Amino acid sequence: MDQPLIQIKNISKKFGDNHVLNGADFCIYKGEVTTVIGKSGGGKSVLLKHIIGLVEPDSGMILFQGQPVSEMKKAEKRAMRKKFSYMFQGTALFDSMTVFENIALPLMEKTSLRKKEIQQQVEEKMQQLDLNDINDKYPSQLSGGMKKRVAMARALITDPEIVLFDEPTTGLDPIRKNAVHSMISDYQKKFGFTAVVVSHEIPDVFYISQRIAMLEQGKILFEGSPDEIQKLPDSVVQNFIQGVES
């Protein structure tokens, strides 16, 4: 197999006495959708935040294209981060900005595109995500599902190489859930991007993922294909994916 795009090597992280990650190891490959599953509060978001450098590990390391992120120079880190986009769990939209301004923000910050080009790209993305006639609305005026889609439009507006999605479908109705999954899948096919998704949508999310990593007690208990996890003779894994209390 090719060299992983991102390698998480034996990372541990605690907050006070709370040992959230305890030697987590796994790999993300270019062009694949990797989904991280595991119990609520088990550290999936913390793991995602390590990937993008929002949280530093207490021990262990993260390698990007074989290079330890902790050894990168500032400019290298900046260049690496430019390739990433992050869709936060709680959407993290700016309440004081309109929908249009929220989606346009990464283009304003990361590119030198003209106003007209920005307008075109934002409108195109809004159409793709079925977000019509809400340009001038504020996040507080939207339903939860719409906010999610606005956050998704913002995460995808720069056509990033790697997108981290933290529970992109939570709170959506089944039709919207399917639409978000299809969009991740379509984006992968069209643009070949790499996605890391944190999700509780089992088994739906298996259909759009090439790799699954299951986090359990701070470690990656399983890493492999959706097919492999469904056949794995391990009661902890099977109980979890079938929603049985153990």
Residues that bind ligand ATP (CB under 6 A): 15, 18, 20, 38, 40-46
Residue 40 or 140 having the CB closest to ligand ATP = 40
Residue 18 or 143 having the CB closest to ligand ATP = 18
Q: Is the Cβ–Cβ distance between 98 and 137 less than 8 Å?
A: yes
Residue 24 or 162 having the CB closest to ligand ATP = 24
- The SS3 assignment for 134 reads coil
Residue 160 or 218 having the CB closest to ligand ATP = 218
CA-to-CA distance for 179 and 159, rounded, in angstroms? 19
- Beta carbon of residue 122, minimum distance to ligand ATP (angstroms, whole number): 29
Q: Is the bond preceding 233 in cis, omega lying within 30 degrees of 0?
A: no
- Beta carbon of residue 149, minimum distance to ligand ATP (angstroms, whole number): 19
- Beta carbon of residue 200, minimum distance to ligand ATP (angstroms, whole number): 6
- Beta carbon of residue 18, minimum distance to ligand ATP (angstroms, whole number): 5
CA-to-CA distance for 128 and 28, rounded, in angstroms? 27
- Beta carbon of residue 14, minimum distance to ligand ATP (angstroms, whole number): 9
- Beta carbon of residue 67, minimum distance to ligand ATP (angstroms, whole number): 25
Distances (CA, A) of 170 to 92, 144, 231: 14, 9, 26
Residue 103 or 195 having the CB closest to ligand ATP = 195
Residue 104 or 198 having the CB closest to ligand ATP = 198
CA-to-CA distance for 138 and 147, rounded, in angstroms? 10
With both helix axes pointing from N to C terminus, report the angle between 115-128 and 99-110 in degrees, rounded to the nearest 10: 130
Q: Helix, strand, coil proportions of the chain in percent (round to 5)?
A: 40, 25, 35
CA-to-CA distance for 204 and 214, rounded, in angstroms? 15
